[in-house]
Chains A and B, each alone.
Chain A
């Protein structure tokens, strides 16, 4: 059971709601994923289409909403969006995203830390989206965030866990859950993150733009479960075959003749 800020989740697959071809497809994909945590963004109402309301396609009883601050380019904008999100949802949960570069959408570490500290003070449950920077992850944990969300690769690139070395360090050092977010392009990537010991993964683009998003969502569900089970079962060590450690395979090692007794 995954616990974040005292709330339990039986699914370790979080799903984003962007980029879908239609709200109906999104709704069915989320159902197929069995995700319990779903991100949403905040935008100006399209006054030409007043009925276009995503929330009518999401069952608040089954799904936990995680508003994000996507679009924020600095800490001030993120904090403003956070308060709007809280007013809109009535919930303290927040995925903090500060992305000043609209091309790469990579997160700004400085303003993320600044906004996180402010929002923790404002009593938000903060889940910051960050590059896979272990020291930043620790600084954010010291500031009181409820989880950390390091990226596998930039948003939308579907490149997988390019940041594996650093994500591994983050997982090893973490005192809060680690949710790998962004860049997960295939079910195998999600499984890899879970095998590494991530507590959950967030997937959006890979599901939304698949030819069959509903089927893809189901595939991700299975991948996350498989990866987590593998991790929990205790993965065998992968052998670096160049090192002969068994005495039968030949003596390689230090001479310890100097040891008496």
Chain B
């Protein structure tokens, strides 16, 4: 078993970032290899006046590493049962929302709708409730759904390495698990009950999934819980560590930004679109090869503008309530969607901007199992 990951001094990251000067930012923009010090400079307040140049550099690097393409996927919510009480989430155990877990047939029905719409990569999402939606349920869903799609990824409760291996053999190729916040103090404050309270277990989940053979791991922080610049640093440090330990694995970063949800949680920090852009540009410059995911939490106008500037993967036509594709009722959502466009509308905009919307990136058939 590999070494475990930790962030030593979260508040120290803020100090390092705040201390960066314009000269540091220029150095970071000009250098051929971006260090963690450079990342700190790019995340700093001093970098804000360089945002257009950061965008240009980010666009250049994204084109070099990813070409003029944008990957498309859809989330498929299987269950919103959850044993955790996270202060910020619509699925929190003490929120009175209609709870639903899809039967296998219902999951197939949702999947068929997505398939018909043209999606080839699907992200299976659940709240965290192992008793209701455990590994065996997930495995069964995956086995029934996998032939409909080129790739299936999951965003579910943190699992053990052997459980990830089980799901990998069943047909899952990617795992997304977000630390939410790397700030241990805030983490404790917002995770009030449930297994999610264990900061260390969660932070080592990406490593367990990678060790199980998953081809791609997604990390992320829920922007607004703690200081976003320090979260950006923590994400960079985590990414660098993961790459060192798992050199054969692909990585992505997601940027969920706190939006209205049942329970009306007040974020510590208001993270603006400008902040979000700076964060994405900084991470792109720091790691030219990491996938950057912009979900439908963000508005259409913003997502259109960001095309080609850094993000490499977009969800589309999303519904965050289980069974939401089959019905018109969207009760029991995890969060409200900002971009309501269909996959066709999103793909059209992508093409108009001179990019190729990629619905399929990988075929499971080519995969070998150790």
Contact = CB atoms under 8 A, between A and B. Distances in A.
A255 B52 contact: yes
Contact of A246 (B26, B33, B274): B26
Contacts of A238: 31-32
Contacts of A259: 273-274, 277, 302, 305
Contacts of A258: 301-302, 304-306
Contacts of B30: 237, 239-240, 243, 245
B59 interface: yes
A252 interface: yes
Interface residues of A, number: 25
Nearest to A239: B30
A261 interface: yes
Interface in B240-274: 243-244, 247, 272-274
Contacts of A257: 305
Interface string A222-261: 0000000000000011111001011100011111111111
Given A173-B247, A260-B301, A253 B32 contact: no
A52 interface: no
A245 B277 contact: no
Nearest to A258: B305
Interface in B45-81: 49-57, 59
B277 A253 contact: no
Interface in B21-36: 22, 25-27, 29-33
A173 B240 CA distance: 10
A258 B294 CA distance: 15
B309 interface: yes
B36 to A, nearest CB: 12
A175 interface: yes
A252 B26 CA distance: 13
A254 B301 contact: no
A254 B56 CA distance: 5
A256 B56 contact: no
Determine the main DSSP class of A at the interface with B: loop
A138 interface: yes
A256 B52 contact: yes
A260 B243 CA distance: 34
A165 to B, nearest CB: 10
B274 A251 contact: no
A53 interface: no
Contact of B53 (A239, A245, A260): A245
B274 A237 contact: no
A1 B76 CA distance: 53
A172 interface: yes
B53 A256 contact: no
Contacts of B50: 245, 247, 253
A258 B55 CA distance: 13
A232 to B, nearest CB: 14
Contact of B29 (A236, A243, A255): A243
B26 A256 contact: no
A247 B243 CA distance: 34
B20 to A, nearest CB: 14
A252 B55 CA distance: 10
Interface centre among A168, A175, A247, A254 (most CB of B within 10 A): A254
B245 to A, nearest CB: 8
Given A246-B26, A259-B302, A253 B56 contact: yes
A237 B56 CA distance: 19
Given A245-B26, A245-B30, A256 B51 contact: yes
Contacts of B243: 173
Contact of B273 (A138, A172, A175, A261): A261
B274 A261 contact: yes
Contacts of B302: 258-260
Contacts of A240: 30, 32
A241 B128 CA distance: 51
Nearest to B245: A175
A254 B29 contact: no
Interface in A132-187: 138, 168, 172-173, 175
A130 to B, nearest CB: 16
Nearest to A175: B244
B29 A245 contact: yes
A239 B33 CA distance: 12
A260 B273 contact: yes
A260 B306 CA distance: 12
A238 to B, nearest CB: 8
B97 to A, nearest CB: 28
27 contacts: A138-B247, A172-B33, A173-B244, A237-B30, A237-B32, A243-B29, A245-B29, A245-B53, A246-B22, A246-B26, A251-B52, A252-B56, A253-B51, A253-B55, A253-B56, A254-B52, A254-B59, A256-B52, A256-B274, A256-B305, A257-B305, A258-B306, A259-B274, A259-B277, A259-B305, A261-B273, A261-B274
Given A173-B244, A253-B51, 8 more contacts: A173-B243, A238-B32, A243-B57, A245-B30, A252-B53, A256-B305, A257-B305, A260-B301
* Closest 7 A/B residue pairs (Cβ): A253-B52, A258-B305, A254-B55, A237-B31, A261-B272, A253-B53, A245-B29
